[in-house]
Amino acid sequence: LKKRLRLIMHSLWLQLLCVVGLCLAVGLNRLAWGDPKWPLLGMAALMGSWLLLALYTLLMGLWALYQQSWQVSVVPALGMGVACLPIVCVVSFYLGARQVPAIHDITTDTVTPPLFTYALTKRHPSHNSTDYSSENIALQAAAYSYIKPLVLSLPPSKALMLVQDTVKELGWQVHNVDSVAGVIEAYDTSPMLGFVDDIIIRITVDGQGSRIDVRSASRIGVSDLGA
């Protein structure tokens, strides 16, 4: 029993190292240094290691409690409590990912989507391509049928000013504004992991008013997880 308790403590220390490693990997991802795939692979490997250690700790803790006739002791209880954290995180992530389609490029115009230009200078070769895939059309229609162009009874010049104010309120970082073409390119960063979505907004004449189309494309990953 004492040997198993020591193994639980060693596992807890290893889990702590995984957490520290995850923090470092997230920091590197947010700094956007070099090839972005390495911080992402590091996060995946460390999360996998943490999960395996957590499962091991949980099983060892249950066995230790069983040998003590289910009398609560500090080490097994602490080990199982800590082990639940990565398990809950992974299960929540998996269930959340199952609720959205496996696409990372969303647009209000699937026929002639706005084309990124300035964002291309900010993307690494390891990032997702900005070429729009026709396979997204059916997936987006099934999951996000409500995403449509916005038509306003404002001239494009005034619509552009309104869009710029909205982008500022949303907290997006602006890459470039082309008032002549009626195009705004920006990006948004996820609060914790620092994943980036490039966004382009296109304003065109629509009768006496304006039509606004938006496109959002994640730089990494198969899905944007509903963002």
Q: What are phi and psi of 122, to 5 degrees?
A: -100, -10
DSSP 153: S
Q: What per-residue confidence (pLDDT) applies to 225?
A: 77
In this structure, what token pair is assigned to residue 35?
């090839």
What's the whole-number mean pLDDT along residues 129-147? 91
d(CA 94, CA 116): 30
Looking at residue 206, its amino acid is D
What's the whole-number mean pLDDT along residues 75-94? 76
Which range, of 24-33, 71-80, 191-200, 204-213, averages the lowest pLDDT?
71-80
The crossing angle, in degrees rounded to 10, of helices 74-98 and 2-31 is 40
d(CA 202, CA 208): 17
Confidence of residue 75 (pLDDT cuts 50, 70, 90): low
Residues 107, 76 contacting (CB under 8 angstroms): no
Higher pLDDT, 70 or 209: 209
Is the model's pTM score more than 0.85?
A: no
What's the whole-number mean pLDDT along residues 51-63? 78
**Whether pLDDT at 13 is above 70:** yes
In this structure, what token pair is assigned to residue 10?
């060693």
Residues shown for the chain: 227
Burial of 169 (0-12, 13-18, 19+ CB in 10 A): exposed
**Whether pLDDT at 96 is above 90:** no
What share of the chain in percent tops pLDDT 70? 89
Q: What rounded mean pLDDT belongs to the chain?
A: 84
Confidence of residue 184 (pLDDT cuts 50, 70, 90): very high
DSSP 129: P
Q: What are the Cα distances from residue 73, in Å, to 76, 91, 159? A: 6, 27, 65
What's the whole-number mean pLDDT along residues 207-221? 93
d(CA 167, CA 195): 18
Determine how many CB atoms are found less than 10 A away from the CB of residue 223: 14
Which of these, 65, 48, 64, 59, lies nearest to 14 by C-alpha position? Answer: 48
In this structure, what token pair is assigned to residue 7?
């193994």
